[in-house]
Chains A and B, each alone.
Chain A
């Protein structure tokens, strides 16, 4: 199942994250945010998790960064070279370990407290990690220049910065502890078009110059295409298709992936709304009510009886290309 080459940085094996929801009165619902996800991010790799709202992509990102304990399944991280299950570590040790992973949030306006000074945003986490004074100052200047934010901004207040600048600051903050991995949750979806390129460039350079792996979570396939080396398509908590970026975009196999591709923008076909292969205009099922068998069968135009009864496993059909579909 693993492609050859590249040493893994973090691996998820059949990770499930279930949430219990409901009151004492009503029925208890089980929300299956992640329903058995196996994937990995290699050293220095750029991976994209593509999915719509409700796919579980944000939860996946949070599992990788240490904010969400899996209900079941294994997480194995190699941040220090040898395998560790970080969720088996207790409190402080776990937090320390996860400092090797940084988080870049979606909304630059709420990811940093606007009332703080820029310098403090970076200084305080360092302080509580035991880095202060000159050493801290040096580190702060390092990350600021890494994200191309001029030092003069250090004395500003966050609310004086623009959206693009704030997002750079978010990335700078995530780089404070020299992480081996960055999880970027929709890092450009709230930015104007003219800024997207810069932030994506920045993430690219962080990856190539610093050797930091990036796990990008997004709903825009076009963004994934422009950035990632490897794509995983997530639907209702399970991976539907995995492939290298080149392979995926030239040969998408899963009907859901094809649907997403058809609906993604391109400027070649003007004045035409793409036809999307969808069974009927049906809504996405909720994660509390996942359809039996293949979870996509309710909307899949190609579904047949096996799809309704049995869930297809994620199978490698070509080297490095996996699909979960009975059609293959």
Chain B
């Protein structure tokens, strides 16, 4: 629950909007597993890391400013990073730039990185480096150069085995930038996109799964709680009234209740989504789901009300002139209340699952993140086929985990509150 509160308050709404914008996630390694898999597979999956190189002015002549920056890092992983991005914070006035990497074995890789930023792994400057190296070791130029090949060129051992083995040790990176305007306080950020990220990995666009989980939490919970409360509330009162009033009124109420009960929920909801092309807001969705769920509670409440109605003290009230509605509130409602509370809590998991299922099918208020939706895009991007288990596992597990505590609490409430036939 704490997470939900945190997510609600601390994650800026801009982040939500950004979720659906792939450009925002460029710096994140796409579809990579969580970091901790490294413990299992012998450190084949390096995490991402960034090198922040503050630029310092080295020379200036006339309008031309020359900035340099450098840094070094240790590389010890058995696997290759998945990509590289180079970004400069203020790229408008850059004329040209150079990147130089000195690998642990002394081999230098120098690249002219031009003036169009960000430079990514599949940009020509990097791909041509890779291409040349491949030619050097194999004698032929590859038709197309993939990210993996670029990474192998940069981080692999020099020689024929460059694709299989990483070169471990200290790497030194330097950048030279020529700019025709001062770049005050600018820095170069080199993003090495590992092939693992964070607690739960990333999806196809590089969006971290753990972030998605966090963001999905409050909205899902809110919706589920609202739905449950409304449907139990309506159901219990409706059923209680029907049972208590009896006779014709009861028949009419029951008829309507059964009609609603018979509606198939999922097809109905999906249809609704398409009938309202502008999509459903939270309130709408909640109302619709509640509309379909309340009959279940009404039936039980009605049965309870019927048993109360035939109790002697209800009849006694009637003789004494107490109006029926008063009897209802005095006798029936207090007895329905605990059961209503228990069922509200128990109803939340059901609502969660329904909501996520709908999201999976694409029915969801726009602008919100949901786990079902994550599963939806997982399916669309064939996550299972590609072996991106983390994308499926974590949203799925969350749905279950979030339900569990409510079920347990609800069950406990039910035990405390239900009248038990005792001994004497």
Contacts and interface: CB of A to CB of B under 8 A. Distances in A.
A98 interface: yes
Contacts of A125: 317, 320-322
Interface stretch (B149-157, B323-331, B379-387): B323-331
Contact of B316 (A111, A115, A120): A111
A86 B315 CA distance: 19
Contacts of B335: 115
Contacts of B317: 124-125
Interface in A62-101: 65-67, 95-96, 98-99
A124 B326 CA distance: 9
Nearest to A111: B312
Contacts of A115: 331, 334-335
A98 B326 contact: no
A43 B321 CA distance: 24
A105 B319 CA distance: 12
Contact of B311 (A66, A110, A128, A129): A110
Contact of B319 (A98, A107, A112, A113): A98
A327 interface: no
A111 B321 contact: no
B99 to A, nearest CB: 80
B420 to A, nearest CB: 15
Contacts of A113: 311, 313, 330-331
A131 to B, nearest CB: 11
A103 B322 contact: no
A111 B313 contact: yes
Q: Could you say which of B315, B321, B326 has the most chain A C-beta atoms within 10 Å of its C-beta?
A: B321
A322 B410 CA distance: 65
A107 B312 contact: yes
A96 B318 CA distance: 11
A247 B67 CA distance: 129
A177 B322 CA distance: 13
Contacts of A41: none
A176 interface: yes
Contacts of A129: 321
Contacts of A112: 313, 316
A124 B315 contact: no
A77 to B, nearest CB: 15
A180 to B, nearest CB: 15
A226 interface: no
Instruction: Place the interface of chain B in its size category.
Output: 10 to 19
A173 interface: yes
Interface in B252-280: none
Nearest to A185: B312
B423 to A, nearest CB: 15
Q: Could you say which of A95, A107, A120 has the most chain B C-beta atoms within 10 Å of its C-beta?
A: A95
B322 A67 contact: no
A317 interface: no
B393 to A, nearest CB: 49
Contacts of A96: 321
Given A113-B331, A124-B326, A95 B313 contact: no
Contact of A103 (B316, B323, B330, B331): B316
A67 B331 contact: no
A145 to B, nearest CB: 20
A95 B315 CA distance: 13
A192 to B, nearest CB: 14
Contacts of B315: 67
A116 interface: yes
Contacts of A128: 320-323, 326
Nearest 5 interchain pairs by C-beta: A125-B320, A110-B312, A113-B313, A111-B312, A128-B322
Interface of B: 311-313, 315-317, 319-323, 326, 330-331, 334-335
Interface of A: 65-67, 95-96, 98-99, 102-103, 105, 107, 110-113, 115-116, 120, 124-125, 128-129, 173, 176-177
Given A115-B335, A125-B320, 8 more contacts: A99-B319, A107-B312, A111-B313, A111-B316, A113-B311, A113-B330, A115-B334, A124-B322
7 contacts: A66-B319, A67-B315, A99-B319, A112-B313, A112-B316, A116-B330, A124-B326
